[in-house]
C-alpha cells in the first residue's frame, strides 16, 4: 500500500470539523454554479461525475466509453484531444481542493503521483470518494488499472474487452523485437522541463521500462529515478542515442540545442547527431496506447541508429 493510500484510509474523527468546514465552503461554491450541476451529497441519486488526475487514467476512461462522465481533468490529460476541452484542475502534483470541489464531482480517480496528499485528504473528508491507483509503469500495470477503473465506474465488460485487445496488440508489437538479432543500443533519456531543469532517467524509471520493451539498454546506471544531468555522467554513459520527449527537445532548442547540453557533443550519439523524441504522454503515459508507443519508440530508435 502506498503512503498516499494509507493516509487516505487513516482518516480520524478529529477531522470532522475540517470536513464540516470544507463542506460548507463547497456548498457556497456550488450555489454559484448552474442548477444542473450536482453536489456529492446527492451522488447516488445523480449521474456519475468524475475528475481524472493522470493522463493515462483519462485515456482509459475514454477507451471504456465513459467520457460523458468526466467533469474535469489535470493538465497531463492531453489525449484524446477532446480531453483538453474539459475543465482543468491544474497540474497533478500541485492540486487544490477548491478547484476540484468547484466541479462538484462525486468521484476522483488519481494516480499515486497526484498530490499534495493533504489536498486529496481534504477532498475525501468533504465526502467525495478518492480512488488512488498504483503507478506501476509496466504493461501489467496498465492492464491492472484498466480492470480497476472498469470496476470503479461499473464497466467491467468493456474493461475486459479492452484488456484482451491490448494483450493481442502487445504480442504483435513485441514478437519482432524479441527475435531481432541486432545489438541493443545504449540510450540516454533526457527529461527537460526548462533549460535550467535537465534530468536524466536512471534505473526503475518509466523511461527505462520503455527502453527495455524495445530491446535497448539504459546508458546510465547507479541511481534510481531521475537526477540532474552533468557533463561527467553524460560522457561516462557513452550513449548511442539520446532520447527526449517532443516537448523537452523543443525546450532545449531542437537537435542543435540538445548538442549544446553539457557533455553531449562528446558522446557517440552527439557526434553522429543521433537524437530521437516522442510526445511525452504517448511515450511515458502508460495508458491504453502503450503497444503503439512501444512500436513508435522502436521505429524512432532504429531510424536514429540507421540515419
| pLDDT for 135 | 87
Assess if residue 220 is contained within a domain: yes
CB-based contact 31:141 (threshold 8 Å): no
**Which CATH number goes with the domain that contains 296?**
3.40.50.1980
119: domain range?
A: 3-135
Q: 7 and 116 share a domain?
A: yes
Q: Kind of pairing, strands 197-201 and 226-228?
A: antiparallel
Q: 114 and 187 share a domain?
A: no
Q: 121 and 200 share a domain?
A: no
| pLDDT for 46 | 60
Does the pLDDT of residue 25 top 60, yes or no? no
State which of 103, 118, 135 marks the end of a domain. 135
Assess if residue 170 is contained within a domain: no
- Looking at the structure of the chain, the number of domains it has is 2
Assess if residue 160 is contained within a domain: no
Given phi > 0 = left and psi -120 to 50 = alpha, else beta, which region is 65?
Answer: left
Assess if residue 154 is contained within a domain: no
179-224 tens-digit pLDDT: 988 889 999 999 987 777 889 998 988 999 999 999 999 999 888 8
Residue 249 dihedral angles phi and psi, to the nearest 5°: -65, -35
Question: Which helix (H) or strand (E) element contains residue 297?
Answer: helix 290-306
Q: Cell digits for 60?
A: 482509459
59-87 tens-digit pLDDT: 999 999 999 999 999 999 999 999 999 99
Which of 31-35, 169-173, 183-187, 210-214 has the least mean pLDDT?
31-35
Assess if residue 215 is contained within a domain: yes
Does the pLDDT of residue 42 top 80, yes or no? no
Q: 114 and 189 share a domain?
A: no
Does the pLDDT of residue 170 top 60, yes or no? yes
112-155 tens-digit pLDDT: 989 999 999 999 999 999 999 998 999 999 999 999 999 999 99
Residues 6+ apart with CB under 8 A from 37: 30, 104
Q: 190 and 129 share a domain?
A: no
Assess if residue 161 is contained within a domain: no
Q: 126 and 235 share a domain?
A: no
Q: Model's pTM, two decimal places?
A: 0.82
271-296 tens-digit pLDDT: 999 999 999 999 999 999 999 999 99
How many Å apart are CA 154 and CA 86, to the nearest integer? 22
Amino acid at each position: 500500500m502506498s503512503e498516499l493510500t494509507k493516509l487516505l484510509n487513516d482518516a480520524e474523527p478529529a477531522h470532522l470539523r475540517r470536513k464540516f468546514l470544507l463542506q460548507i465552503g463547497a456548498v457556497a461554491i456550488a450555489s454559484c454554479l448552474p442548477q444542473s450541476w450536482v453536489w456529492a451529497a446527492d451522488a447516488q441519486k445523480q449521474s456519475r461525475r468524475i475528475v481524472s488526475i493522470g493522463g493515462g487514467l483519462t485515456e482509459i476512461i475514454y477507451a471504456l466509453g465513459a467520457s460523458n462522465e468526466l467533469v474535469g481533468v489535470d493538465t497531463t490529460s492531453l489525449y484524446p484531444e477532446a480531453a483538453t476541452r474539459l475543465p482543468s484542475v491544474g497540474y497533478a502534483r500541485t492540486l487544490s481542493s477548491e478547484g476540484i470541489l468547484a466541479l462538484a464531482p462525486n468521484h476522483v480517480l488519481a494516480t499515486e503521483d497526484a498530490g499534495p496528499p493533504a489536498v486529496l485528504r481534504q477532498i475525501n473528508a468533504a465526502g467525495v470518494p478518492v480512488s488512488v491507483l498504483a503507478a506501476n509503469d509496466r504493461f501489467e500495470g496498465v492492464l491492472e488499472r484498466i480492470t480497476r477503473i472498469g470496476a470503479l465506474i461499473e464497466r467491467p465488460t468493456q474493461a475486459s474487452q479492452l484488456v484482451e485487445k491490448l494483450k493481442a496488440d502487445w504480442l504483435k508489437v513485441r514478437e519482432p523485437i524479441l527475435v531481432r538479432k541486432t545489438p541493443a543500443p545504449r540510450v540516454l533519456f533526457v527529461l527537460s522541463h526548462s533549460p535550467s531543469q535537465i534530468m536524466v532517467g536512471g534505473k526503475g524509471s518509466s523511461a527505462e521500462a520503455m527502453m527495455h520493451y524495445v530491446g535497448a539498454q539504459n546508458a546510465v546506471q547507479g541511481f534510481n529515478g531521475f537526477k540532474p544531468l552533468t557533463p561527467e555522467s553524460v560522457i561516462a554513459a557513452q550513449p548511442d542515442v539520446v532520447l527526449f520527449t517532443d516537448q523537452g527537445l523543443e525546450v532545449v532548442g531542437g537537435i542543435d540545442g540538445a548538442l549544446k547540453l553539457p557533455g553531449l557533443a562528446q558522446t557517440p550519439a552527439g557526434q553522429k547527431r543521433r537524437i530521437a523524441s516522442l510526445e511525452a504522454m504517448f511515450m511515458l503515459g502508460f495508458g491504453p496506447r502503450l503497444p503503439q508507443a512501444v512500436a513508435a519508440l522502436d521505429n524512432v530508435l532504429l531510424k536514429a541508429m540507421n540515419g
